[in-house]
Every structure is written in C-alpha cells, then in structure tokens.
C-alpha cells in the first residue's frame, strides 16, 4: 500500500495500518511533503495529522517553509481528530512572525471548541505562542486562571500540567 493510500484509507481507529505506513515511509524524502499535502484534503487530514504528530514526536523536525505551510492549513481542518493532532504538534513546530496571527486565530477557535481535548490542547498552544511571543504572556495567565474556574476536569488537568512545567 502506498503512503497516499494509507493516509486516505485510515479509519482513524486501528493504529496498525497507519503505523505500518509510518514505519515504511517516514525516512522517505517525500514523506513530509505528502503528509502536508494530505493535511489539506478532507479525506486525508486525520491520517496525515497522525503521521505528522508521530514524525515530530520521534525527534524529527520540519523546516521553516514547511512550518509556514502547516500553519497556513489550520483554518481548513474540519475533523476534531486532525485539529487535536495538529495542536499536539505545535510544541515541535516553531511559530514564525508570519504564522503568528493564523496560529492565534486557530487557538482562539480551539478554546471555544465543543471537544474538550481540542480545548485542552488549544490552551497548551497558547502557552507555546506566549513562549515565542512574550506579549501574550499576561493574556495566557488570564486565560488559564479563567479556565481553571470554568473548564472541564480534563482541560483543567492539562493546564495544571502546563503550569508544572513553567511559570504560567
């Protein structure tokens, strides 16, 4: 099965097929460009985001051009699983000045999402944004304080974990 077929056909549940595609293709030169291309396609965004997350969590990096391309695609992500997995990638992808406003808009939408996991990782994304751009720090502290009083237990747990790592 080709990488493209694996991305398109993944059901979002059984990890074996997509993990097999990762093992087979992740060292291929065209791996990241294909994954980014499929982030833009509705039929592949969940599989592509899973592959991207696995790639980055395995110690790999993307260049600045690729980071910008990924962040440019944020508004088009429709499935919550894809949004979540890309949010989980943000700690591994530097946020440039050119991408800052798009990332900020994505995170603001994320903290209002109906999915509690998307909300939790959107708060985490705000932490990353504030690390890259200190002008957000006061707002992030306020967002966290408000969330600790108004959010679900799982979101509060994520914020507690973030706060353990830094001065938020």
3-state secondary structure at position 59? coil
What are 129-162's pLDDT values in tens digits?
999 999 999 999 999 999 999 999 999 999 999 9
* Residue 167 pLDDT greater than 70, yes or no: no
Reported as a pLDDT band with limits 50, 70 and 90, residue 168 is low
* Neighbour tally for 142: CB within 10 Å: 10
* Residue 166 pLDDT greater than 80, yes or no: no
First-last CA distance in the chain: 45
Domain range summary for the chain, segments of one domain joined by +: 1-94, 97-168
pLDDT of residue 12: 86
What are 102-133's pLDDT values in tens digits?
999 999 999 999 999 999 999 999 999 999 99
pLDDT of residue 1: 83
CA 18/CA 79 separation, integer angstroms: 17
Q: Which of 143, 25, 44, 144 is nearest to 85 (CA)?
A: 44
Query: In this structure, are residues 53 and 89 in contact, taking their beta carbons and an 8 Å threshold?
Result: yes
Percent of the chain at pLDDT exceeding 90: 92
């Amino acid at each position: 099965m080709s990488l493209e077929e694996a991305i398109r056909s993944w059901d979002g549940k059984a990890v074996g097929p997509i993990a097999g595609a990762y093992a087979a293709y992740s060292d291929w030169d065209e791996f990241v460009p294909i994954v980014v291309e499929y982030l833009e396609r509705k039929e592949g965004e969940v599989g592509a985001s899973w592959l991207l997350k696995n790639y980055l969590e395995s110690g790999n990096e993307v260049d600045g051009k690729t980071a910008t391309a990924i962040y440019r695609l944020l508004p088009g992500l429709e499935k919550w699983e894809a949004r979540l997995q890309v949010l989980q990638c943000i700690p591994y992808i530097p946020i440039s000045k050119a991408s800052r406003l798009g990332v900020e808009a994505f995170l603001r939408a994320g903290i209002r999402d109906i999915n509690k996991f998307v909300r939790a990782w959107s708060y985490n994304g705000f932490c990353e944004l504030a690390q890259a751009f200190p002008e957000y720090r006061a707002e992030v502290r306020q967002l966290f304080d408000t969330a600790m009083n108004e959010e679900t237990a799982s979101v509060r747990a994520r914020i507690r974990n973030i706060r353990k790592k830094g001065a938020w």
